[in-house]
Amino acid sequence: MFKPRRAAFFSKMEKNSLAVIPAGREKIRNNDCEFPFRQSSDFHYLTGFNEPGACLVLLKDDESCKAILFNRKKDKSAEVWHGYRLGQSAAVSELGFDSAFAIEQFEHHLYELMDGLTTLIYPTFQDAELDKSLSAVVNKLRGSARKGAVAPTLIIDSSRILHEMRLIKSESEIELLSQAAEISASGHIRAMQSCRSGMWEYQLQAELEHEFALQGAPATAYNSIVAGGESACILHYTENNRKLRDGNLVLIDAGAEYQGYAGDITRTFPVNGVFSEPQEKLYQLVLDVQRSAISQVKPGAALIDINKNAVQQLVDGLIELGLMQGDSEVLIKDEVYKNFYMHGIGHYIGLDVHDVGDYGTLENPRLLEVGMVVTIEPGLYVGSDADVDEQWRKIGIRIEDDVLVTEHGAEVLSADVPKSITEIEALMADAKQHG
Ligand code: GLY
Ligand code: MN
Ligand code: MN
């Protein structure tokens, strides 16, 4: 699937242009230890090649299109210490590049390749080393103008082409996203089944991520959030180091990464398996809003409008429950609701959990299209200092699913994990009864 993607990219390049897409770089964690390597999503999308120390060059001149890989040389000693390297000849025979060179020769070859072209396409200002390297090559060409060298004068950010491509998912990408969502769902189910009062949040995280790995996803798409009680009011809580207490809810926002594609699911459930009355009321409100939002996902809809409707429903519900007083129009206009709901309704999801792609502007939002995949994730967060009756405080709830835009509306890819109160309580009761 990677060669056709390169062909699609070429078809969107002007003649006499050259695109440079770098691989991800290894990052030091602490002395002699690196963070687990994760390939750059753009580079993966066009190559499927999972090594660092590489760069893809796509050259389109008057006569032809050439895909050239720069990658690490075979090196016996380095491979004994650090692992297998594909090398140049296999890059051509196995991955279908027109040619491959050692990464050390990148600037040297690029000087030759770029000479006489009008346009340079690359991810601008994102990779300081690449910026520096390209700047050296372009300036060397400029410096050789009197000898007949010609440097490109038009610089285009590669995201204009690539991120538009990544926004609309192909059949095979939809399949991988479905699998990522299904694996994520089984992790959430296991967490619901194994949750007990007195566990540490990181122990519940271990249950969840254990299931991801058992199902074929060795990595998470982002740092898992396992937040008991009040911690759920911290949107990106990842400390996961507190005890789960009887009577509290626990919010889990976690997703598996499957062959590069992200799952992103949030469920909120009672640590002891049974919702209290205030928890139940707030939960049902969020669930009603989430279901309503999913029902609005279809081609031509805008996330921003779906969010507006969600805000309206949340505010009406909070007024009805007595957490807010006054006129809903004023509460919305003055953004008072942001005390309880301070994020958006969702985002694109794909190779990145917050995937790339144009959202348009507030006045002119990008409309949903068949093949986009988005999350729908309303929430309510009532902190310990909220100006509400005591019973509502320290409750954070978010419910999040991954949703494919289809011709007729939407398909929920993460539907396997229960979200109604009765389903959650039944699942948890059953797990307690049977061990
Ligand atoms: N897990 C990050 C998000 O839901 O956007
Ligand atoms: Mn999300
Ligand atoms: Mn999430």
β pairing state of 17-22 and 28-30 = unpaired
**With contact defined as beta carbons under 8 Å apart, do 228 and 248 qualify?**
yes
Residue 298's pLDDT is 98
Among residues 44, 190, 267, 347, the one annotated as catalytic is: 347
What is the spatial distance between Cα 144 and Cα 152, in angstroms, rounded to a whole number? 13
Q: Ligand 2: distance of its center to the CA of 400 in Å?
A: 7
User: Is 253 a known active-site residue?
Assistant: yes
Bridge partner list, 57 = 20, 68
Residue type at position 226: V
State which CATH number among 3.40.1380.20, 3.90.230.10, 3.40.50.300, 3.40.50.280 fits the domain covering 168-434: 3.90.230.10
Residue ID of nearest Cα to ligand 1 atom 4: 264
What is the spatial distance between Cα 128 and Cα 106, in angstroms, rounded to a whole number? 16
Q: Ligand 3: distance of its center to the CA of 251 in Å?
A: 10
Is it true that 2-164 and 168-434 share their CATH fold?
Answer: no
In sequence order, the 6+-apart residues with CB closer than 8 A to the CB of 336 are 324, 326, 330
Write out the DSSP string of 149-187: -----EEEETHHHHHHHHHS--HHHHHHHHHHHHHHHHH
Q: Ligand 1: distance of its center to the CA of 379 in Å?
A: 12
**Which numbered atom of ligand 1 lies nearest the CA of 254?**
1
Over residues 240-261, the pLDDT tens digits come to 999 999 999 999 999 999 999 9
Among residues 377, 401, 402, 425, the one annotated as catalytic is: 377
The residue ranges of the chain whose pLDDT is under 70 are none
| Ligand 1 environment, Cβ below 6 A | 222, 253, 264, 347, 353, 377, 400
Among residues 127, 182, 400, 401, the one annotated as catalytic is: 400
Residue ID of nearest Cα to ligand 1 atom 3: 264
Structure token digits, residue 123: 């991810």
Q: Ligand 3: distance of its center to the CA of 32 in Å?
A: 32
**Which numbered atom of ligand 1 lies nearest the CA of 343?**
5
Over residues 169-186, the pLDDT tens digits come to 999 999 999 999 999 999
Query: How many other C-beta atoms can be found within 10 angstroms of the C-beta atom of residue 82?
Result: 12
User: Is 82 a known active-site residue?
Assistant: no
How far from chain centre, in Å, is Cα 338? 24
Record: fold of 2-164: Creatine Amidinohydrolase; Chain A, domain 1 (3.40.350)
Residue ID of nearest Cα to ligand 1 atom 5: 354
User: Is 236 a known active-site residue?
Assistant: yes
The ligand minimizing its distance to the Cα of 237 is 1
Per domain, the residue ranges of the chain are 2-164, 168-434
User: Is 288 a known active-site residue?
Assistant: no
In sequence order, the 6+-apart residues with CB closer than 8 A to the CB of 138 are 114, 120, 151, 152
How far from chain centre, in Å, is Cα 206? 21
Q: Ligand 2: distance of its center to the CA of 348 in Å?
A: 8
Among residues 109, 242, 343, 366, the one annotated as catalytic is: 343
User: Is 398 a known active-site residue?
Assistant: yes
Residue 435's pLDDT is 73
User: Is 127 a known active-site residue?
Assistant: no
Query: How many other C-beta atoms can be found within 10 angstroms of the C-beta atom of residue 26?
Result: 14
User: Is 42 a known active-site residue?
Assistant: no
**With contact defined as beta carbons under 8 Å apart, do 214 and 203 qualify?**
no
**Which numbered atom of ligand 1 lies nearest the CA of 398?**
4
